[in-house]
Amino acid sequence: MSDISIRLISPADAEAMAALLRANREHMAPWDPLREESYYTPEGQWQVISDSLRSGNALPHAIVEGGRIIGRVNLSNVVHGAFQSANLGYWVDAAATGRGVASAAVAAVAEAAFLTYGLHRLEAGTMLHNVRSQRVLERNGFVRFGMAPRYLRIAGDWADHYLFQLLSENWLETRSATS
């Protein structure tokens, strides 16, 4: 997956993100919160991206293949100081699933989190039945450490999630073992 990269998203990406979200709306519906219609518009994405960047506690990245955005990988709830942690979330265009794109994007954002942003810990949650996403995390060295009942409101219902974490020192060990 050498042609997969990530970069910080910008408000200039709003139109491309809106088109990608509209194209993947049905594909993402079982995994996403319910959204207002405006979320799927360029104006709505411009607002989401701008708010995210202004918040100071989010690092949203576009997943890029061949110069085209094919998904998003986010570091949210970024906390510095003694905590040095963030939550990780990601999604990929339906046409790009099953090719290792999500795994490559998670690997790239973990590297950025630990080497560029100086974080110590990443946490991610998956719905209990989302085995594919769990495998993405495990391939990247994440370890399941618990289950959170009614963790997030997905598709209108509170859903239980398995919680995974990756510590910087474990990431370095995993990276050394695979290089």
Domain boundaries, position 114: 4-178
Residue 174: its pLDDT value, please? 76
pLDDT tens per residue across span 61-96: 999 999 999 999 999 999 999 999 999 999 999 999
Provide CB contacts within 8 A for 157, sequence distance 6+.
Answer: none
d(CA 30, CA 49): 22
pLDDT tens per residue across span 105-150: 999 999 999 999 999 999 999 999 999 999 999 999 999 999 999 9
Looking at the structure of the chain, the number of domains it has is 1
Q: What predicted TM-score, i.e. pTM, was given to this entire model?
A: 0.94
Tell me which amino acid residue 130 is: N
List strands edge to edge, sheet with 157-167: 4-8, 59-65, 68-79, 85-92, 121-127, 157-167, 143-154
Identify the CATH number of the domain in which residue 173 sits: 3.40.630.30
